[in-house]
Structure formats: C-alpha cells, structure tokens
Chain A
Amino acid sequence: MNDIGEGIVAALGLLVTLDPDLIDISLRSLQVSLSALVIACAIAIPFGTFLAVQRFRFRRTVISVLNALMGLPPVVVGLVVYLLLSRSGPFGVLGLLFTPTAMIIAQVVIITPLIASITHQAMRDLWAEYHDLLISLNTTKVQRVGTLMWDGRRTLLTAALAGFGRAIGEVGAIMIVGGNIDNVTRVLTTAIALETGKGDFALALGLGFVLIMLALLVNFAIHGLSGTEREGRW
C-alpha cells in the first residue's frame, strides 16, 4: 500500500515539475500510438466496411482469420517484425529496427485486425438496415461503403478508441522492435517495465498513472471533438 502512495506522490512530483524526461517519454508514446492508430484506421475501417457490404467466395474465411488475428500475441508480432526489419531480414536495408517507425509498424499490425473486426460487426448491422434502399438507389460499391462509414461514424469511433487503448498500453512488441533506448524509443510502457525491473516502484507507478491519464485524455478529446455526447441520439 505504501508503494501506491509513494507512486502517487512520485507521479505528482513528476507532473508538477514538468519533468523533461517524462514529457519526452509521454509525447513519444502519444506520437507512436496515434500514428499507428491513424494508419490502422485508414486500412481497417474501409476494409471492415467492405467486408460487410460485399459477398465473395472466401468472405467467411477472411472474417474468421480477422477474428483470430485479433488475438495475436503482441510478443510474437514483435518477433516477426524484428526478423523482417533486422539487418539480415528482407527489409534490413531500410535500417528501421530500433526506431519509432518500427514501433509504429508493430502496433499497426496488432490493432488493425481489432479495428477491422469491430468495424465489420457494426457495419453489418447498419448494412442490414440500409441494404434495400442502397440497392434500389443503384449505388456503386464505393458509394455504399462511403455511406455506411459516414452514417456509422460514431460506432467507428468506438472501434478506433479500442484500437488506441490497445496500442498505447502495449509493451511486448515495441520492447522487441524498439529496444527501449533512452531518448529514442523509450515510451511509457517500456519505461514502466524498466523501472519495475530496477525495483523503482514509485517511479514505475508514477509513469503508470500518467499512462492512464493520457489514455483517458485522448478518449475525452476524441469524444469532445466529434461531439458524441451532444449528438449521441442515433
């Protein structure tokens, strides 16, 4: 119990003094996870919507694979991305290993299936509602996907937030591909792992509180920006 108390004190101390290391680490966490989120959404949301609208031969298989990929262990993703990016790997020449870019790539791989799967489920219901009308109006595939994404944007927000939560809290994969290098690839989660390992529980807990606050802040910010509460009437 004492540790938690000290953690809160440590966290407040770090925050009040605007500790430069803490700010640096937090900003990097945000930068990596938000970049991963934007890229993953750009792929997963149209793809998940398309899966809801289009019948094709291996559709069920694709959906099962997607659901299975949701449970992909991050450590294994990290390992595979590591092997691909390592000097002897196929993308070794790019020199991306142990950079924030490598961490973004790993997080994109982890959260894209999650966002695509939630998107697909939400869009399937909306498509059932809109199906007859959009067919009758002679819409093209692209128009159908566009209409569903626009009218279902509030559910898509939930999908995106779930993805962000998973990305910012993830430690296994980014530890492997980022290497937890001070001032380069250290983020909140890897810093927490490091401080815990060193036995500095107060600092670890302090970082932990900052991480939670950050996650909450981003949630509120996105909800606020999109006006979900005000328009939560659909």
Chain B
Amino acid sequence: MSDMLPLELSGATVRRKGKTVLGPVDLTLAQQGLTIVIGPNGSGKTTLLRVMHGVERLSAGSAEWSVPHSEARRRQSYVFQSPIVLRRSVLDNLCYPLKLMKVARRDRVATARDWAARIGLGDALATPATRLSGGERQKLALARALIRKPDVLFLDEPCANLDGRATRDIEALLLGARAAGTRIVMATHDMGQARRLATDLIFMVSGRVHETGHAGHIFTHPETPELTAFYNGDIVE
C-alpha cells in the first residue's frame, strides 16, 4: 500500500482548441485496488489517465497526490495506448529506465534480462525493438514500465491488438504487480478483461465520469441506462 495515495481530482478540466475534452472530474483514487476505466471512443479515458499521471496540462481544477508532485512523478509508470519503443535493442530498452534511476550497470543488465525472459523476449535481447511485432512491443512497453517498480501504474489499453494468449500473459504480469503492491489504473475496451481484473470501475461518457462503483456491485447492478447499454454492446453517445 503506497503513501502516495489517495489521489484527489477536483474539478479537473482539460480544454483543447475551445472544446472541453475532459471534465470537470471529481474523483478520489483510493489506496488499494485495480481500477478499470471504460467508455466509448473519444470519451476521455486517455485524457483522464494522462491527467492523473501529470503529463496533461489542466485548464482548471487540480490533481493532488498525497506526496509532493515531484516525488509522485518518480514513483509512477505509464504504458501508452500506442507503445513507444526506443530505437535500441530490447535489452537497452529495458535498461533505460534503470539507468535514469542510476542503477549500477551490472544490476541493470541482470534485471533487464530477467524481465525480457518474463515477457517471452529472452532470446531477443539484441533485437532492435523497432523490429518487434505490435504485440511484442506492447509487452516490452509494459515490462519497461514495471521494471521501475512503480507504486502506481497507468495502462492505456495494453491488450489492444493482442491475441488471447498474449492477453493472458499480460494479465498475469499485472496481477503479479498488483500482488506486489502496485496500484493499477487501466483503460480497456475489453469487457471480459474488465470483469476479470477490476476491483473498481470508472465509466466515462463525453469527457465526464458517468458512473463509478465497486466491481461486486457495478457489473451486476448498473445504475444508469448508458452503462447498461454499454454492457450490452449497444452504442453509447
């Protein structure tokens, strides 16, 4: 359990080009759990995660961790919706965050090898990351995020474009991180995945938090007609 949390969003609003993209959002990210963010395309899931992570400029409102901003930034990781890999080998991609954290070279390499093996890239250490398949890149981006041992991990649709087996592998990694005490916040379009992993759910519509609740309740008893429709696979505007 991390002393960084809870994270308090109050009146958090993002406007871009005269359009309100997010908010106002009032939300508390509790100390424990695995929060899943769902909602239709363009509903603001990515923007919400970026605001929480502190890389999106707020037009109004605030997002406050329970520790100073700079310390909070150091202790969280983010996996982007389209994975970003450095133009380096798989091994060097994994070493990169450790180098930033001033981990000694020998430890870096040992840790990076270990993670490469865990994501099934143990034989591809020297392969340029730009040559990996889409799914392999996604796994690499996830491992590079987890290798920092973050207190809080944000994931933006980490399993989009992955087949069932790769999805299962990634979910196993996430559950492992969670068991080790990492607070996870994840956006997904996969309702099956949401049901498998979530302890809490945030349902976004048109840049606002439309409904939130605990997994035990919200999956079986949605309160709004929009969430019911979303569960049924109907189009939510």
Residues of A near any B CB (own CB < 8 A):
126, 129-130, 132-133, 135-139, 143, 147, 151-152, 233-234
Contacts A139-B100, A143-B100 given; indicate if A133 touches B84 (C-beta within 8 A).
yes
Interface SS of chain A: helix, strand, loop or mixed? helix
For the complex, what is the distance from the CA of A220 to the CA of B80, rounded to whole Å? Answer: 40
- Smallest beta-carbon distance A55→chain B, Å: 12
Report yes or no: A130 in contact with B55, Cβ–Cβ below 8 A: no
For the complex, what is the distance from the CA of A1 to the CA of B131, rounded to whole Å? Answer: 51
25 chain-A/chain-B pairs, Cβ below 8 angstroms: A129-B84, A130-B86, A132-B84, A133-B80, A133-B84, A133-B86, A135-B55, A136-B53, A136-B55, A136-B77, A136-B80, A137-B96, A137-B100, A138-B73, A138-B74, A138-B100, A139-B100, A143-B100, A147-B96, A151-B86, A151-B87, A151-B88, A152-B87, A233-B128, A233-B131
Residues of B near any A CB (own CB < 8 A):
53, 55, 73-74, 77-78, 80, 84, 86-88, 96-97, 100, 128, 130-131
Interface centre among B74, B84, B130, B131 (most CB of A within 10 A): B84
Looking at the complex, which one of B55, B74, B130 makes contact with A132 (CB distance below 8 Å)?
A: B55
For the complex, what is the distance from the CA of A143 to the CA of B100, rounded to whole Å? Answer: 8
Report yes or no: B130 in contact with A234, Cβ–Cβ below 8 A: yes
For the complex, what is the distance from the CA of A133 to the CA of B140, rounded to whole Å? Answer: 13
- Smallest beta-carbon distance B101→chain A, Å: 9
Closest to B81 in A: A132
Which chain B residues border A136 with CB–CB below 8 Å? 53, 55, 77-78, 80
- Smallest beta-carbon distance B177→chain A, Å: 17
The 7 A-B pairs of least Cβ separation, nearest first, read: A133-B84, A136-B78, A151-B87, A138-B73, A234-B87, A135-B55, A132-B80
